[in-house]
A and B are shown apart, each in its own frame.
Chain A
């Protein structure tokens, strides 16, 4: 896996203290802990992107769009 070096500036001391404590609790170096957290965020973002891509319909027609809008409106009217 290719890696790069990233530097963070301006991290509030209180935030850094919390992150150091969390890293210690997890039994990791601060560097590894931050990589794991950032990787987890990136994976969640990618999962959501894949979810959208896997559910996107091809060749949707304007008639289908109009029909769904009518069905949604009818469903909302049920609430009244």
Chain B
């Protein structure tokens, strides 16, 4: 099982990335990505990628959407204090979701890879983040 970052979901509908072909495994998303995907379509309904992404995530089984609850919030607070790379709040919330779920985060975002390196260098083992960086 893997977690797709929002930019990876964009790439899926654009035909640039096939999660099941690459990993032969099931994919999931964070509720943060769900929100970002639906918001993108609401803000830019004429954009066909954002419309297709919103439709895809709306049709995902609930079991494929990982929650953000108290445990994720505690991990978010801990990694936000440790990470020196400048990252936006939703990215760190998605990273916290991946850490709590113990699943690799698949993304095009080199900033998230930097976060994983920061945590590997300075964080305790329970904050380990595995990032699979996709080629642009």
Binding site for B on A (CB under 8 A): 44-45, 47-49, 51-52, 55-58, 60, 64-65, 67-69, 71-72, 75-76, 79-80
CA distance A65 to B40 in the complex (A): 14
Set of chain A residues within 8 Å of B48, measured between Cβ atoms? 57, 64
Q: Is the CB of B14 within 8 A of A55?
A: no
Q: Is the CB of A55 within 8 A of B27?
A: no
The 19 listed contacts between A and B (C-beta, < 8 Å) are A48-B64, A51-B59, A51-B60, A52-B18, A52-B19, A52-B20, A55-B12, A56-B15, A60-B14, A60-B15, A68-B50, A71-B40, A71-B43, A71-B44, A71-B50, A75-B39, A79-B89, A80-B88, A80-B89
Q: Is the CB of A45 within 8 A of B12?
A: no
